[in-house]
Amino acid sequence: MSENTTIRRTAEATKGDFAHVHTWVFDLDNTLYPRRTDLFSQIDARMTAFVAELLQVPPEEARGVQKAFYREYGTTLRGLMSVHKIDPDAFLSYVHDIDYSWLTPDPALGAEIAALPGRKFIFTNGDRGHAERTARQLGIFEHFEDIFDIVAAGLVPKPAAEAYDKFMGLHRIDTAHAAMFEDLARNLTVPKALGMRTVLIVPENFETTLGDVWEHEGREGEHIDFVTDDLTRFLQRVRPD
Among 77, 87, 54, 172, smallest CA distance to 126 is for 77
CA gap 226, 192 in Å, rounded: 12
pLDDT higher than threshold 90 for residue 164: yes
Residue 217 confidence class, pLDDT cut points 50, 70, 90: low
Alpha helix segments (H runs only) across 5-127: 40-55, 59-73, 76-84, 88-95, 107-115
Q: Which of 164, 101, 91 is nearest to 133 (CA)?
A: 101
**How many CA atoms lie within 13 Å of 9's alpha carbon, on the beta-carbon side?**
9
**DSSP code, position 12:** P
pLDDT recorded at residue 106? 97
Q: Is the pLDDT of residue 212 over 90?
A: no
Could you tell me which residues come within 8 angstroms of residue 4 by beta carbon, excluding any fewer than 6 positions away? 207, 208, 209, 210
- Which distant-in-sequence residues (6+ apart) come within 8 Å of 136 by Cβ? none
Contact (Cβ atoms closer than 8 angstroms) between residue 76 and residue 155:
no
- What's the CA gap between 131 and 128, in Å, rounded? 5
pTM, 2 dp = 0.89
Where residue 12 falls among pLDDT bands split at 50, 70, 90? Answer: confident
Does the pLDDT value for residue 138 go beyond 80? yes
Instruction: With CA atoms as reference, report the closest residue to 186 among 162, 157, 215.
Output: 215
**Region 99-103 average pLDDT:** 96
